[in-house]
Amino acid sequence: MPEKQLMKGNEALAEAAIRAGLKGYFGYPITPQSELLEYLSRHLIDRGGEFIQAESEVAAINMVYGAAGCGKRVMTSTSSPGYSLMQEAISYIACGELPCLLVNVVRGGPGLGTIQPSQGDYFQAVKGGGHGDYRLIVLAPNSVQEMADFVFKGFDLADQYRNPVLILADGALGQMMEPVTFPDYNPEDNLVDHSDWATQGKPASRGPNVITTLHLEADKMEAVNLKLQEKYRTIMANEVMIESIQTEDADLVLVAYGLTSRIAHKAVELARNDGLKVGLLRPKTLFPFPSQHLAVLADQVTSMMVVEMSAGQMVEDVRLAVNGKVPVYFQGRMGGVIPQPDELLKRIHQVYSSSSTQVNS
């Protein structure tokens, strides 16, 4: 039986990456993710990987590009301003279909902002972020345990789809300590052979492997795009992950991911104590987004309420999925403020009564 350890989210993520067979880490310090970089600086080299503290996030992500192009498991981690700096190369990585793991331990913005937790980078994470039509697979953990679990899942998905995977966490998940158990995972059993496309040195038996994202003729570039879109559709069909809490009989369903899903969960418990039929749907994958699940729920409930630490970003995707069938309310805090269960409960009571009057009238 694997034993439980008490760890910070950032450190659990770093330890999981080593256990997942990490061969290269390239990063730059920024709060609130620095423990990740520090942990890997202490442990990765002794356990079979390369570590570089780069001169900038721009350099770090371009090192990831080069290293991922060799077909080995590599990653970087950063927080919001650093993630913004990486966008050009992430677009190249997505277009070049290079498998790798990215981590954004989000802090409050815009600008230099605050080191307090936030979910204000949702648009950037799931809609692209850099230039051109591309998508990352975006995983949203809500516990230290999932900070670890999603690393294994993330590397497996990255290898399977030849697509960069982003773990979208936040400062609180990175910093808080919780018990974590590492699964039995042997990287050797899960590695994918990338030698057919990766740049590893050209043997006489094959032509050169070239990683490029330049296709000057419009029809060739469109063909690249069509292939990417086809892959994204497969991912959307197969890889949605959700957690559903007391939605079966719910009139009102909260939708929240990451840290806010835990606060929303608490608010659901409080509301149930008050006799209100409230549930929670938590997307674990933000891309692919659980639009189907939400569309089905929309036929059952009288309203939904999205909770985010942002001005309202994921709420747009929920509204698209629900397509006007029921009202979708929003409750959010910004700038690093974490919403509290009692403020959610208050809003739940308001929404619940107004929705039921709507339905009754």
Partner 1 sequence: MEGVQCDYLSELDVVWDRSETLTEKPFHYCPGCGHSVMNRLLMEVVQELGIQDKTIGVAPVGCAVFMYHYMDIDMQEAAHGRASAVATGIKRILPDRFVFSYQGDGDLAAIGTAETIHTVNRGENIIMLFINNGIYGMTGGQMAPTTLKGSITSTTSSGREYDRHGYPLDITPLISQLPGASYVTRQSVDTAKAVRKTKKALTKAFQFHMNGGEGVCFLEIVSNCPSGWKMTPIESNEWLQDHVFNHYPLGDIKPFPK
Closer Cβ to partner 1, 1 or 216, answer by number: 216
Nearer to partner 1 (CB atom), residue 38 or residue 50 = 50
Report residue 19 CA to chain centroid gap. 20
Figure out which of the listed residues 7, 22, 70, 315 binds partner 1, where binding follows CB under 8 A. 70
Q: Give the range of 7-15, 137-145, 206-214, 320-328 binding partner 1 by CB under 8 A.
A: 206-214
Q: Under the criterion CB under 8 A, does residue 65 sit at the interface with partner 1?
A: yes
Binding residues among 84-113 for partner 1 as defined by CB under 8 A? 88-89, 92
Q: Does 292 bind partner 1 (CB under 8 A)?
A: no
Cα 208 from Cα 153, distance rounded (Å): 31
CB of 233 to partner 1, least distance (A): 27
| Total residues binding partner 1 (CB under 8 A) | 39
Can you tell me which of 5, 114, 116, 213 binds partner 1, judged by CB under 8 A?
213
123 near 153, Cβ under 8 Å? no
Using DSSP's 3-state secondary structure scheme, residue 9 falls into helix
Closest to partner 1 by CB, 92 vs 182, is: 92
Amino acid 100 reads C
Is residue 210 involved in binding partner 1 (CB under 8 A)? yes
On whether the CB atoms of residues 112 and 123 are closer than 8 A, the answer is no
Among 12, 14, 26, 294, binds partner 1 (CB under 8 A): 26
Tell me whether residue 26 or residue 182 sits nearer to partner 1 (CB atom): 26
**92 or 152, CB closer to partner 1?**
92
**DSSP codes joined into one string, 255-324:** E--HHHHHHHHHHHHHHHHTT--EEEEEESEEES--HHHHHHHHTT-SEEEEEESSSSSHHHHHHHHHTT
Q: What b/e readout covers 101-130, taking b as 16+ CB neighbours within 10 angstroms?
A: bbbbbbbbbeeebbbbbbbbbbebbbebbb
State yes or no: residue 187 binds partner 1 (CB under 8 A). no
Closest by alpha carbon to 146, among 191, 118, 176, 116? 176
List the one residue from 16, 22, 68, 267 that touches partner 1 (CB under 8 A): 68
Q: Is the CB of 51 or the CB of 242 nearer to partner 1?
A: 51
Q: Pull the structure tokens for residue 192.
A: 């994918």
Report if residue 166 touches partner 1, rule: CB under 8 A. Answer: no
User: Contacts with partner 1 in 43-62 (CB under 8 A)?
Assistant: 50, 52, 54-56, 58-60, 62
- For the bound state, the minimum distance from the C-beta of residue 350 to partner 1, rounded and expressed in Å, comes to 49
> In this complex, which beta carbon is closest to partner 1, that of residue 203 or of residue 275?
203
Q: Answer for the pair 117, 170: CB distance below 8 angstroms, yes or no.
A: yes
Other beta carbons within 10 Å of 184:
8
Any residues with CB less than 8 A from the CB of 183 and at least 6 apart, and which? 2, 149, 152
Decide the pairing of beta strands 285-287 and 137-139.
antiparallel
Sites of contact with partner 1 (CB under 8 A): 23-24, 26, 50, 52, 54-56, 58-60, 62-70, 72, 74, 88-89, 92, 199-204, 207-214
